[in-house]
Structure 1
Amino acid sequence: MASGSERRPRWKRRAWIAGVAVLVILVAAAGYGAWFGSEQAIGVVHYGTSNTRVLTVQGDLVTLEQTPESGKPGTYWLEWSGTYSMLGDVVSRAPGRVTRKVLRGPTPSVGTPGWFGNVPPGDPEVAWGIGYTEIMVHTELGPAPAWYVPGKGATWVVAVHGQNGRRKAELKILPVVHRLGLPFLDISYRNDEGAPPSPDGLLHLGDSEWRDLEAALRQAQTMGARRFILYGTSMGGQIAGQFLDRSSLANLVDRVIMDAPMIDVRMTGEQGARNFHLPAFAAGLSSQVIKWRTGVDTDRLSLIRHPPKIRPPLLLIHTVPDTDHPIQEARDLVAAGRRLGWKIQFEPFAQGGHTEAWNVDRARYDRLVRDFLSPARGTL
């Protein structure tokens, strides 16, 4: 039988082994969380084609399989087999299903799988019946496609989509821009479908993508553009912000519109950690992993702490319930703007998810954009 003095060292050894095991597990979990967080921020994603299914059709009423997307209130689109319908607000609900009215486009057949989304489908012609030309912007990495809708005068609206988005996301603003007669350029940038990849195959959260926006403006100059209005959604807002801070062309920008922009990458990362039920410190670890993988200092990507050198009037639109880029980012930018004398028109929307202000209240959104852009008609 072991004596008490023998049992004590054995107990201490077991406790030490258990402590080491727990530490290894915690370190592994923290490492996984940090890598996962970095992948959510800088990984390149090209989306699939189906997230709901048509269950029944009655006249112009379509009943869809209810999903977190298809059950949202507001105006959205359903794409399938190369075509689409614009769907209005929810008419009725039942367990597992939601019924909406077809506002525009054909009615899908029962059983059709489709992609229910908050951005217009296709190109300007498909989405709104507006003619356009596809041009290639000569970026430092190679040609990147852009949609050009002609207009009058030398002040162009240039649109920049968000993280892992597509050009069609920016088409919500096109009808207003087109009615005002302003030329419209909807660009792609590195890692987009059809655009060249970045050297490391990763997103840089605006830290390098702004150079593709600069290339687009230089090409627009060769086509007659002299002044610019930037429209950026989600990460597109951060790209616009970095352009205003770093580009020699920034002083040619008259106005900026940002919709749910990534204003502060650190705050966005902290929100992402909350979304995935990770501890708060995971966001800081993810930032370190992002820096290791890309060389990007995410603390530098804060328009609040590091406002751009050029600060034209800004229309800032943001939905209060946004769980991708928390509205506190927008509020903090407005506060910083007051201290700097930066003219920011802040327009929060009480409903809607990320970049869904247009979807939940199109009339208000269009009015805000029209009123903000209307002075540009004086430069035609």
Structure 2
Amino acid sequence: MTAFLVLVVVATGFGAWFGSDQGIAVVHYGSSNTRVLAVRGDMVTLERSAQTGKPGTYWLEWGGASSMLGDIVSQDRGGVTRRVLRGQVPSLGTPGWFDNVPPGDPKVAWGIDYSEIMVPTELGPAPAWYVPGRGSTWVVAVHGQNGRRKAQLKILPVVHELGLPFLDISFRNDEGAPPSPDGLLHLGDSEWRDLEAALRHARKMGAQRFILFGTSMGGQIAGQLLARSPLATTVDRVIMDAPMIDVLITGEQGARNHHLPGFVSTLSNLVTEWRTGVDVARLSLIRHPPKIRPPLLLIHTRPDTDHPIEESRGLAAAAGRLGWKIQFEEFAQGQHTEAWNVDRARYDRLVRDFLSRP
């Protein structure tokens, strides 16, 4: 009996630590998750997997090259065939990385010229991509947990079409950016200061007002800036795509994803607080709304199993009580941050209309 209790305690502790790691461990991704099985003209067949079998528009990267792939043309038990819409056609047998985010930089992804600038943060310089535009209102993009700047490039064609300057930032623990002192993510609780540093640097470059675009944890980062920064008053509007609205709800979803008992989520939060010093319960834009609440375009896919749509629905439902003007748009298909991928036309239209309002 004693041995059984020890086993239960050890297993519970491991589960709590594992759950904590899912939120705060720094991960840099590899270079291959599929292989090209066949090439016929502009038609490419990839190994079938949960990733490559998704409907919509995606990208394949390999050896410094890339292609944008359209929706599924055909599939069988072993392979998925798609048409190359943009970029190079890979060779037979090529191993590549199939993903829902654009490849490379603004020039590689969309043929749009840019410059790389270094933002002076409190921890050291962090790289950012800057695409010039007209006027003094800038769109500033911030990606999510263990993401990369290129994830924010989906919005760039519309922003560039409207002539708005675009700044796509990195923050602590990103590749090329300085690490956090403890080497861990803080779920937006400290990362917002790197976003603030980017806004300060942009002001020195001529920016006066800002539109924030945050995806996943980037939404929480934007929310914490609105809650804590004196520069919050310079933000005119915000776009959030599949945001981390409430860290506690996100943690509960993570426990379900890994088939862990619900109480493990509570223990994982305690471990996270012990490891980082972050008050996890404070990171809720519903229960602890930001003091500045500019108009918000809130986008979320229903099947999202990383940040469940209930987080965004909860914020939208509280909009009246919070005095927050929120336009909430649900997409019926697509996993986490894949609304653009499953319906680019609708996504671009929503963003264009939101950014074009006076």
Query: Paired residue for 1:88?
Result: 70
What corresponds to 2:351 in structure 1? Answer: 369
**How far, CA to CA, are the matches of 2:78 and 2:203 in structure 1?**
52
User: Aligned pair 1:111/2:101, yes or no?
Assistant: no
The aligned length equals 358
1:123 maps onto 2:108 in alignment? no
- Structure 2's unaligned 5+ residue stretches are none
CA distance in 2, matches of 1:331, 1:360: 20
The residue that corresponds to 1:303 in the other structure is 285
Residue of structure 2 equivalent to 1:262? 244
* Structure 1 segment 1-380 matched on structure 2, within 5 A: 18=1, 20-375=2-357
TM-score by length of 2: 0.99
Q: Alpha-carbon deviations, 1:193-230, whole Å to 9, x = none? A: 00000000000000000000000000000000000000
In structure 2, distance between residues paired with 1:123 and 1:288: 38
Name the CA distance, whole Å, in 2 between partners of 1:248 and 1:341: 20
Deviations 1:86-114 (CA, angstroms, capped at 9, x unpaired): 00000001112110001011110000000
Whether the 8 Å contact between 2:158 and 2:348 is mirrored in structure 1 is yes
How far the C-alpha of 1:24 sits from its partner, in A, is: 1.1
State how far apart, in whole Å, the 1-side matches of 2:15 and 2:280 are.
17
What SS is found at the alignment partner of 1:261? coil
Measure how far apart 1:340 and its partner are: 1.5
CA deviation profile, 1:242-276 (whole Å, cap 9, x unmatched): 00000000000000000000000000000000000
Q: Which amino acid aligns with 1:341?
A: G
1:23-60: CA deviation from partner (whole Å, max 9, x where unpaired): 11111111000000011100000000000000000111
Q: How far off is 1:335 after superposition?
A: 1.4
Give the counterpart letter for 1:206 in structure 2: G
Are 2:289 and 2:322, in contact at CA under 8 Å, matched by a contact in 1?
no
User: CA separation in 2, counterparts of 1:237 and 1:310?
Assistant: 14
Query: How far apart are 1:287 and its partner, in Å?
Result: 0.2
Hey, what's the Cα distance between the residues in 2 that align with 1:49 and 1:68? Answer: 17
Identity %: 79
AA matched with 1:177: V
Deviations 1:311-364 (A, max 9, x none): 000000000000000000001001121212210000000000000000000000
Find the residue that maps to 1:90 and give its secondary structure: strand
CA contact (8 A) 2:59 2:69 kept: yes
Q: Which has the larger radius of gyration?
A: 1
State the shift of 1:366 in Å.
0.1
Offset at residue 21 of structure 1 (A): 1.9
Secondary structure of 1:303's counterpart equals coil
SS of match in other structure, 1:48? coil
TM-score (norm. length: structure 1):
0.94
- Looking at structure 2, the residues matched to 285 and 100 of structure 1 have their Cα atoms a distance apart, in angstroms, of 44
Query: How far apart, in 2, do the equivalents of 1:188 and 1:82 lie?
Result: 21
For residues 198 and 163 of structure 1, the distance between their equivalents in structure 2, rounded to whole angstroms, comes to 14
**More divergent stretch after superposition (336-345 vs 349-358):** 336-345
Alpha-carbon distance in 2 for matches of 1:198, 1:322: 28
Q: Distance in 2 between matches of 1:335 and 1:54?
A: 45
Q: Residue in 2 aligned with 1:9?
A: none
Paired AA for residue 96 in structure 2: G
Aligned to 1:11: none
Letter in 1 for 2:260: L
Distance in 2 of aligned mates of 1:337 and 1:303: 11
Task: Give distance in 2, aligned partners of 1:211 and 1:268.
Answer: 22
Q: What amino acid does structure 1 have at the position aligned with 2:312?
A: A
CA distance in 1, matches of 2:87, 2:234: 39
- The Cα shift of 1:22 comes to 1.9
Secondary structure of 2:61's aligned partner: strand
Q: Which amino acid counterpart does residue 141 of structure 2 have in structure 1?
A: A
1: CA distance, partners of 2:4 / 2:319: 47
CA RMSD of aligned residues (A): 0.6
